[in-house]
Structure 1
């Protein structure tokens, strides 16, 4: 595949990866105890943890898959995101105070004390298996972007990305993770706004044209493609045979309650806050950043749909029709 990367692009990418990789050794020298390594001496402020948790929730699944979904279908899969505030509210009243009182560094530590090492081992292995599946998906989606823009092997992206992330995580502990994610949050926002600005610059009438065209084509509806006709149709409120609005809401609240009650990525951060009040603020900061960002990336996908409708492109049309094995996940890197 042809590379679209210039020498300057490669230099910027290399510097970015080197900076990330250097964070681990930098913080490794400061980790003098298990408490420091896992929870940073419970000294993090709300704003830092909140943005770190936000960056955790905004992975390549958001950056690549959300625009792809909005480009090809509509906004049905955004519905679970709207249940996050309810999940956060319940977590702030039930789960967060519980883990803060227990003074645990992980949910698994509590399980061992309450039920024994066997339960801890089972829960930890289950969590690790789930994370392996999640990280595999994230790295795969990143590799699609990398391959589309550089023409390089996706395997190289997966290996390099995995090594860099693994290096600063294992060496630096929670402090390296939190500060890296804090920086990545702003990198993400900057890149996202730059993408949208570029899309809108190529559309006569800008955002008003995007909205009017998308409304006319039903791109904002809570619906999905009909598997038979291939056309967008509104989703039913209740159904046991197809995706339904109520089902998406239930999936959302179930997922978020699971996330904030048992996911070590989240628990480890909010038990690292200075105090319970700061911990509560941190998860609300995460919520208020995450939901608009998810909606933003859906709108980005809709904007790309309008762009290619006004500027027809063979590959973009193939993605809509599913022809020649074209994957919707490649639409954002293809546009970029």
Structure 2
């Protein structure tokens, strides 16, 4: 059974409401301060006057949704802290984004990422990329709104549709009123709320369990500190290699080419600020990752002897964190509300970024090229499209409520689509011989293969030994039939067993069993590689080698910071080598009879040079 409704008290609702009010106030503020700026560029990209720090925090918050707040600790609880290896993927992602994609998009001064595809290939390629982005983003955004609301409703008793509609309305309001500036600054507020929410849980758990060392010891004894699994088997769900390699592809498809992220760093007032925002964002990502992983370790330490899932106290893994919050923070009015505010801050940051990005690509890719409207009219249309997509995403949340088990598949498909799109952009930026025929052929091929493998893996889940959860224990439960609901004294469970049952497809497995059993983190790399490979082959066969491409559309060594670092290093080496040669010449001329004199001459000559 789950917790009864009404677990929230008045102060919890006040804390939750304050977060919504603060977000709405930011939208009103920027709507007032920018009331005289009427161009669509001011609304969609902040007039390209943003600085590194707020943009970096917004980059971090944009895809740290409530799914992250709820699912990552549950992942650590069930499978161990190996997901912390994502930290290495984050580093590679920021380097690739900064050195490969940022220079191209920033120097072109484009609002929509997909505008590049028309410059490099054709309008058909641009429209194809735009449509794929719109479809996946609307679907994902609806899920981001609904899925955490469902988990929190079951455990905290907060009204499901009241929370869904209130967060959707507030998000749509400040996006429509304040544009990108409002989105960025509300992301900053929401990221801080997320981290404070995690901190409240961690501090209380540490005090309850007797210190950080005790929590780490519990996780060590339970096999949860499984960071360094170097098994190269690509069928294993999580290993060092799947998390690092697969994670890098997934996050590069987010940071490198996703409109929501690109729109942020190209809003910076200089390329230096844009690069700084990406690297400062890395610290934010590590903070969220560390907080969520350690929160998962706290979760395991508290329930190491009495698993609430196996005993039937909760019905889904995403309810673990809300259950913990109500269990250990329920006696502190306001703190459960702070956690719910943290979870919904994740949703708001993701949804607002998505709505703003959807409005941008619609105006820039589907309206501006086919009309001759003034900037004032385009600005009004941008606000209208922001409002439209906000309403559509709320409606998508309603549709998600009827999708049941398809939710997980939909989230997987969102990741799968990113791989082929990443391959398409990489083809354009890194391969001078790629042409439009190769680009379209590669994108379609990569998308078909990715969807085929992803859907096949959903229909035919991998064998249990490839993704077996770690042991869970119920031996320490002390159940009574009282009305108090916590882990030492709860209503009698309906499933009193410690064995975790995961449904497996009972039918015969197909011939492509290994392909369907591939780690889900490798779906993105598969789509990227297929897109690039097919795109190159088709381009070469259709005369791509004779293609003349504008230099500004291709990555050049001068666009990267590595080039200047290497150049600086070579200059210093050459200077040092020249000084040594000069010193040898002086020694031959004057000998070693008067070293002080020769050193003086060397210094004098160096200054003259």
What TM-score range do you get, normalising by the shorter chain? 0.7 to 0.9
The answer as to whether partners of 1:47 and 1:285 remain within 8 angstroms in 2 is yes
- Which runs of 5 or more residues in structure 2 are unaligned? 326-609
The answer as to whether partners of 1:5 and 1:149 remain within 8 angstroms in 2 is no
CA-atom RMSD, angstroms? 2.2
Is 1:239 equivalent to 2:245 in the alignment?
no
The answer as to whether partners of 2:101 and 2:256 remain within 8 angstroms in 1 is yes
Counterpart CA distance in 1 for 2:28 and 2:102 is 31
Within a 5 Å distance, the mapping from 1:85-164 to structure 2 comes to 85-148=91-154, 150-164=156-170
Deviation for aligned residue 1:252 = 0.8
Corresponding residue of 2:217: 212
Is 1:28 equivalent to 2:23 in the alignment?
no
* Residues 246-276 of structure 1: per-residue CA shift (max 9 Å, x gap): 2232211111221222101110011011101
Corresponding residue of 2:80: 74
Is 1:335 equivalent to 2:324 in the alignment?
yes
Counterpart CA distance in 1 for 2:261 and 2:115 is 15
Corresponding residue of 2:249: 254
Counterpart CA distance in 2 for 1:148 and 1:262 is 36
Name the CA shift for 1:14/1:318 in 2 (closer, same or farther; >3 Å). closer
* Residues 85-128 of structure 1: per-residue CA shift (max 9 Å, x gap): 11111211111111111011120222233334332222122112
Within a 5 Å distance, the mapping from 1:3-14 to structure 2 comes to 3-14=6-17
Counterpart CA distance in 2 for 1:13 and 1:148 is 17
Q: Secondary structure of the residue that 1:309 maps to in structure 2? A: coil
Counterpart CA distance in 2 for 1:140 and 1:322 is 26
The answer as to whether partners of 2:199 and 2:291 remain within 8 angstroms in 1 is no
Within a 5 Å distance, the mapping from 1:170-189 to structure 2 comes to 170-189=176-195
Higher RCO (CA < 8 A, seq sep 6+) = 1
Corresponding residue of 1:301: 296
Larger deviation, residues 103-112 vs 208-217: 103-112
Corresponding residue of 2:473: none
Counterpart CA distance in 1 for 2:138 and 2:311 is 29
Deviation for aligned residue 1:323 = 4.8
The answer as to whether partners of 2:314 and 2:320 remain within 8 angstroms in 1 is no
Larger deviation, residues 246-255 vs 273-282: 246-255
The answer as to whether partners of 1:82 and 1:291 remain within 8 angstroms in 2 is no
1:276 alignment partner, one of 265, 271, 278: 271
Counterpart CA distance in 2 for 1:242 and 1:185 is 32
Corresponding residue of 2:602: none
Larger deviation, residues 280-289 vs 22-31: 22-31
Q: Which has the higher helix share?
A: 1
Q: Secondary structure of the residue that 1:273 maps to in structure 2? A: coil
Name the CA shift for 1:263/1:38 in 2 (closer, same or farther; >3 Å). same
The answer as to whether partners of 2:83 and 2:238 remain within 8 angstroms in 1 is no
- Give the structure with higher Rg (CA): 2
Counterpart CA distance in 2 for 1:9 and 1:324 is 23
Deviation for aligned residue 1:163 = 2.0
Corresponding residue of 1:287: 282
Deviation for aligned residue 1:308 = 1.9
Counterpart CA distance in 2 for 1:79 and 1:61 is 19
Counterpart CA distance in 2 for 1:44 and 1:107 is 18
Q: Secondary structure of the residue that 1:94 maps to in structure 2? A: helix
Counterpart CA distance in 2 for 1:329 and 1:66 is 9
Aligned residues: 318
Corresponding residue of 1:84: 90
- Which runs of 5 or more residues in structure 1 are unaligned? 223-233
